[in-house]
Amino acid sequence: DVKVTQSSRYLVKRTGEKVFLECVQDMDHENMFWYRQDPGLGLRLIYFSYDVKMKEKGDIPEGYSVSREKKERFSLILESASTNQTSMYLCASKFANTDTQYFGPGTRLTVL
Amino acid sequence: KQEVTQIPAALSVPEGENLVLNCSFTDSAIYNLQWFRQDPGKGLTSLLLIQSSQREQTSGRLNASLDKSSGRSTLYIAASQPGDSATYLCAVTPFSGGYQKVTFGTGTKLQVIP
């Protein structure tokens, strides 16, 4: 079975803190994605990565950055957390030549 | 810009009932459409994927149909069970195949009452 894991299920941070969210997949997938999910807005793509060291902005990249130094790991970084970044963050991955994304369990981030 | 709508936002049915969940999209130039299930506080699990050339896909008690011309997809659940309680989301990939452009609906929260 494909496994996508995220470093934390729940996280509470203070405004202005630097926050790291980690995602690891064990299926050698080329593509990885970071989404945030908010009530009434659905899932919105923050960043995605085609492969190692490659990244592209999604629909809402402002206030976020990413890092993909190894194929299995895709990190989302909040440089200076703000309260409007309180959300559920979902990571996903897939093979480049297939359609189905596999999602991690999510990290619920609260910024106080 | 593609917009994906799922109505109703919530649905409650008695166990054993057959039900239909709806998904509509504004741009018919799609590559595929997927239905996902999301349990409370968890990630998404893919249920069915329909390519643009297909009309329907089936998996067990689930049947998804696609009508591109009208911009609609339905997810039919037969003989619903309490374990089917979850939020169901549809997602549309544009014809260009750019996965960064996948648009998700906001979901229908289903409750199956024993």
- Percentages helix, strand, coil for chain B, rounded to the nearest 5? 5, 55, 40
Residue length of chain A: 112
- Percentages helix, strand, coil for chain A, rounded to the nearest 5? 5, 55, 45
The whole-number pLDDT of residue B1 equals 83
Residues B78/B80/A41/A19 CA torsion (nearest 10 deg): -120
The whole-number pLDDT of residue A2 equals 67
> Which residues of chain B are within 8 Å of residue A108 when distances are taken between CB atoms?
41
Other beta carbons within 10 angstroms of residue B83's beta carbon come to 9
The whole-number pLDDT of residue B98 equals 60
Q: Does B4 touch chain A (CB under 8 A)?
A: yes
The whole-number pLDDT of residue B42 equals 86
What is the overall mean pLDDT for chain B? 93
Q: Burial, B99: exposed, middle or buried (Cβ in 10 Å; 0-12, 13-18, 19+)?
A: buried
Q: How many CB pairs under 8 A join A and B?
A: 51
Please say if the pLDDT value at position A96 is more than 90: no
Question: What six digits make up the tokens of A107?
Answer: 């990290």
The whole-number pLDDT of residue B38 equals 95
The whole-number pLDDT of residue A85 equals 97
Please say if the pLDDT value at position A60 is more than 90: yes
The whole-number pLDDT of residue B101 equals 74
What percent of chain A is modeled with pLDDT above 70? 98
Separation CA B27–CA A92 (nearest Å): 24
For A6-59, what is each residue's pLDDT tens digit? 999 999 999 999 999 999 999 999 999 999 999 888 899 999 999 999 999 998
> Which residues of chain A are within 8 Å of residue B31 when distances are taken between CB atoms?
99
A23-45 exposure pattern, b = at least 16 Cβ within 10 A, e = fewer: bbbeeebbbbbbbbbeeeebbeb
Query: pLDDT grade, residue A80 (50/70/90)?
Result: very high
Please say if the pLDDT value at position B95 is more than 80: no
For B19-49, what is each residue's pLDDT tens digit? 999 999 999 988 899 999 999 888 899 999 9
If residue A81 lies in a helix (H) or strand (E), which one and from where to where? none
> Which residues of chain A are within 8 Å of residue B32 when distances are taken between CB atoms?
99
State the smallest CA–CA distance between residue B106 and chain A in angstroms. 4
Cβ distance of B100 and A45 shorter than 8 Å: yes
The whole-number pLDDT of residue B99 equals 61
